[in-house]
Amino acid sequence: MTKAMKRFPLLTISIAACSATSLVTPSPFAHATGSITTRSIEYLDVNIDARGSIGAIGIEYDGPAEDPYGGYADSITWRPDGTLMKVDHEIGPTYLKPKFDVNGLPMESSSTWARLEAYPRNTINCSGYDWQDPCYWENYSVENSLHGGFHIEVVRNSDGSWPRVGTITLPTVNDRYGGFAPEGSIIASSEVTDGRVHVDAFQIDCWITEVCPARPVSSAGLPYGAFSSGPSRGDAWFMSVGWPGRYTLYITDDASGEKVQVIADIDANNVPTIDLDAPCFGFKECTTVEGKGSPPAPAGQFQPLPPTRILDTRSGLGIPNGPVRPGDGSIDTSNDDFRTDEELNHELVVTGRAGVPEHGVAAVLLNITAVDPSGDGFVTIGPRPQGRGDLFNDQNSYGAWPNASNLNFVAGQTVPNLVLVRVGAGGRIRFHVYGATTHLIADIAGFFTSADIGAGFTSVTPTRLFDSRHPAEDRFNTNSRRTVQVTGRAGIPELATSAVVNITAVNPTAEGFVTAFPAGTPVPNASNLNLRAGETRPNFAVVSLSTSGAIELQTVLPYDPDGSVDLIVDVFGFFSDDGGERTTTTEPFRIVDTRSGIGGAKLPFGSSEIRTFSAAGSGGIPANASAIWANVTVVSPTADGFLSAYPSLTATPDVSNLNWKAGDINPNMALIPLNSQGTFDISVVMPWDTSGKADVLVDVLGWVAPG
């Protein structure tokens, strides 16, 4: 027989089950008061198949808990000869101190339930026999690969008696429940030192509608589960020996003070990674126990990707249940199917797809397109946040929408915009849709990693690189392709890997779209800009460069073979592996709104007006930030026009960030350079109506600063 199949003597840790006697015993808190308390005591009847581990197992229990996240009414351990001893945490939070002998697990008569947790002790670096050695009193040892602990909750019967628990078997490797010794990775942008992370793991049941390995049951039919508690070692976390199944984990990062409770499915082939920089530490389901609620996003470097479609609700790619409905995924109903369907309709998994890693991703850069919306409205895109309150309430992560927007749309129109969005819990982003149902498309352009790899950003003086209206150029027709050289111009070096540009379509005569991609490579199944006849519209883009430092533009006008359009390309900066600054992302927040006076005057822009706005110091933007990633929106202008955003105290560049027609609500993303005081200017021009007015909004998505 294998070791896992051998039978060992049972350890009976109770006698006189459920018999009450009046005992004079030291209070659990006698060491603090010096008093002696008379209590009515009962003993709980539990047998443990310790599988050869007597003397190497401790047990803590409460009834009820002194602290819902730990803390116990009593702690018991036993010597190698099987006798039991009351111990207290007097030596320190990870060490035990002997108090006196007991005959079992004493329960106060007023207790209505008991929670028991047994844990392995240090049998690797400590003999378990030397009482003078401090390691003898270590109460947890997650690196014990011989056996694990268990937890069980016992509730009094309706007649007031305690139920018979029967025999509980400790987890051992390859036992009949599939015992194994889990070890997972920890990643972070800062050093992960020994003991930085502490993990308490409790095996639980799946929901009724889900399937996972069932928890064991005692010989008396009571369910119990594996339990582990202990610190990390280096960049690894442990669970001693556990069983495959669903767990709730309490994860504490001592460096930040953040503590979350998460849900995870764990087996020998799937031990989750803890990402200390991510909301929920990378898990999908979590709630905040201690701390501010989510780790701040780390400053990241850019990793470009070939433009790839990861969302298209028309075909069910990414979101399988149709166009995205108004709302954020929350719903006021007790119907589990409706709640699951609504969440599924508003969230997109972005990690582990199209070249984006599973872990260590701070943010993604996406081109989002609203297609055929049923009415007017807008979309705000942000990370799936950490929840608050009850972990087992699937509505716990919903709250107030961000006061910002990424994409505005009107009924029937197809509208794109580039979006920088922090990756949220479980590698997901969330769509907050207001006003109308709309199909959504997302093409990924790259991601920002929290690791010290990738490309940094350098801004340049905004410069026009290409304009097909120039006499030496021609308008684009359907399936036209043209190469634009980027490196060697506007201060962009040969080592640049991606260009940050604004692409503007001028006076298209037909509907269609524009795709920008590295010159000389196949045309990707993606788009950067959608065209409407007669409408001048821009879109921001980060485009990978070819080995020769060029990009290529292609236009497709499928409904009019004689259609044409002019294109403009303005450059604002570049990414390079050879230096540059880092990007920090944030949940969207508004710093300018001329309708309400946020950031300045409560007054729309007039034609040919320039205003100065401050960015540094708002929403965590540091004083040394050199640029902000922002969504700029014009609202209900009275005349056609355009605007430019640039560093204060510099000349207005001959480029544009946003174009509009009278009455539009037009957004466009921008990477706005700041001056040394952290300010920027906005210039609004409405050349065909000097009395024109336009309101302007600026929503910050992140910033660029030295690493």
Give 388-425 as a DSSP string: -S-TT-TTTT--PPPS--SEEE-TT--EEEEEEEE--G
Of 215-224, 305-314, 447-456, which range is least confident? 447-456
Which residue, among 253, 299, 293, has the nearest Cα to 276 in the 3D structure? 253
**Which pLDDT band holds residue 655 (cuts at 50, 70, 90)?**
very high
Please check the confidence at residue 206 and state whether its pLDDT lies above 70.
Answer: yes
Note whether 105 and 13 are within 8 A (CB): yes
Q: Is 71 left (phi over 0), alpha (psi -120 to 50) or beta?
A: left
Instruction: Please report the pLDDT score of residue 432 as a whole number.
Output: 97
Percent over 90 (pLDDT), the chain: 65
E strand or H helix at 151, and its extent? strand 149-155
**Which pLDDT band holds residue 13 (cuts at 50, 70, 90)?**
very low
CA distance linking residue 137 with residue 98, whole number of Å: 9
Q: What is the mean pLDDT of residues 13-19?
A: 34
What is the per-residue pLDDT across 254-266, written as a single tens digit (0 to 9) for each?
999 999 999 999 9
CA distance linking residue 553 with residue 569, whole number of Å: 10
CA distance linking residue 174 with residue 505, whole number of Å: 64
Enter the tokens of residue 506: 């001028």
Note whether 663 and 564 are within 8 A (CB): no
Instruction: Give every strand in the sheet of 550-556, ordered side by side.
Output: 481-485, 550-556, 512-518, 529-531
Instruction: Please report the pLDDT score of residue 578 as a whole number.
Output: 87
Of 81-85, 213-217, 272-276, which range is least confident? 81-85
What is the per-residue pLDDT across 564-595, written as a single tens digit (0 to 9) for each?
999 999 999 999 998 899 999 998 999 999 99
Note whether 530 and 515 are within 8 A (CB): no
In the chain, CATH 2.60.120 sits at: 456-576, 582-705
Q: Indicate the burial class of 522 (C-beta count within 10 angstroms; 0-12, 13-18, 19 or more).
A: exposed
What is the per-residue pLDDT across 464-520, written as a single tens digit (0 to 9) for each?
999 999 999 999 998 899 999 999 999 999 999 999 999 999 999 999 999 999 999
CA distance linking residue 505 with residue 476, whole number of Å: 10
Beta carbons within 8 Å of 430's beta carbon, 6+ residues apart = 328, 329, 346, 347, 381, 382, 383, 384, 385, 424
**Which pLDDT band holds residue 160 (cuts at 50, 70, 90)?**
confident
Instruction: Please report the pLDDT score of residue 666 as a whole number.
Output: 87
Beta carbons within 8 Å of 92's beta carbon, 6+ residues apart = none
Beta carbons within 8 Å of 440's beta carbon, 6+ residues apart = 311, 312, 313, 319, 323, 324, 368, 369, 370, 371, 379, 431
Please check the confidence at residue 436 and state whether its pLDDT lies above 90.
Answer: yes
Instruction: Please report the pLDDT score of residue 325 as a whole number.
Output: 98
Enter the tokens of residue 654: 């001959």
Please check the confidence at residue 640 and state whether its pLDDT lies above 80.
Answer: yes
Torsion of CA 683, 687, 692, 695, to 10 degrees: -30
Beta carbons within 8 Å of 210's beta carbon, 6+ residues apart = none
Please check the confidence at residue 163 and state whether its pLDDT lies above 90.
Answer: no
Q: What is the mean pLDDT of residues 281-306?
A: 92
What is the domain class of 582-705 according to CATH? mainly beta
Instruction: Please report the pLDDT score of residue 672 as a whole number.
Output: 95
**Which pLDDT band holds residue 60 (cuts at 50, 70, 90)?**
low
- For residue 282, give the 3-state DSSP assignment: helix
Instruction: Please report the pLDDT score of residue 11 as a whole number.
Output: 45
Please check the confidence at residue 115 and state whether its pLDDT lies above 90.
Answer: no
Mean residue pLDDT across the chain: 85
- For residue 463, give the 3-state DSSP assignment: strand
This prediction has a pTM of: 0.86
Instruction: Please report the pLDDT score of residue 32 as a whole number.
Output: 24
Of 95-99, 532-536, 611-615, which range is least confident? 95-99
Measure CA 664 to chain center: 34
Q: Give CB contacts under 8 A, 24+ apart, made by 327-332.
A: 327/432, 327/433, 328/398, 328/401, 328/430, 328/431, 328/432, 328/433, 329/398, 329/430, 329/431, 330/395, 330/398, 331/395
**Does domain 456-576 sit in CATH 2.60.120?**
yes
**Which pLDDT band holds residue 357 (cuts at 50, 70, 90)?**
very high
Could you report how far apart the first and last alpha carbons of the chain are, in Å? 59
- For residue 308, give the 3-state DSSP assignment: strand
Please check the confidence at residue 609 and state whether its pLDDT lies above 90.
Answer: yes
CA distance linking residue 464 with residue 42, whole number of Å: 84
> Cα 303–233–201 angle (5° rounding)?
95
**Which pLDDT band holds residue 122 (cuts at 50, 70, 90)?**
low
Checking DSSP bridges between strand 167-169 and strand 74-78, what pairing results, if any? Answer: unpaired
Please check the confidence at residue 88 and state whether its pLDDT lies above 60.
Answer: yes
Instruction: Please report the pLDDT score of residue 50 as a whole number.
Output: 65
CA distance linking residue 105 with residue 365, whole number of Å: 57
What is the per-residue pLDDT across 19-45, written as a single tens digit (0 to 9) for each?
332 222 222 222 222 223 344 567 777
Checking DSSP bridges between strand 609-614 and strand 550-556, what pairing results, if any? Answer: unpaired
Q: What is the mean pLDDT of residues 376-405?
A: 92
Note whether 627 and 703 are within 8 A (CB): yes
Instruction: Please report the pLDDT score of residue 66 as a whole number.
Output: 46
Q: What is the mean pLDDT of residues 224-253?
A: 93
Note whether 354 and 308 are within 8 A (CB): yes
Longest distance between any two alpha carbons in the chain, whole Å: 103
Q: What is the DSSP string of 83-128?
A: -EEEEEEEEETTEEEEEEEESSEEEETT--EEEEEEEE---SSS-S
CA distance linking residue 295 with residue 286, whole number of Å: 13
Instruction: Please report the pLDDT score of residue 78 as a whole number.
Output: 60
Instruction: Please report the pLDDT score of residue 243 as a whole number.
Output: 96
Cis peptide before 64 (omega within 30 of 0): yes
Which residue, among 268, 288, 231, has the nearest Cα to 425 in the 3D structure? 288
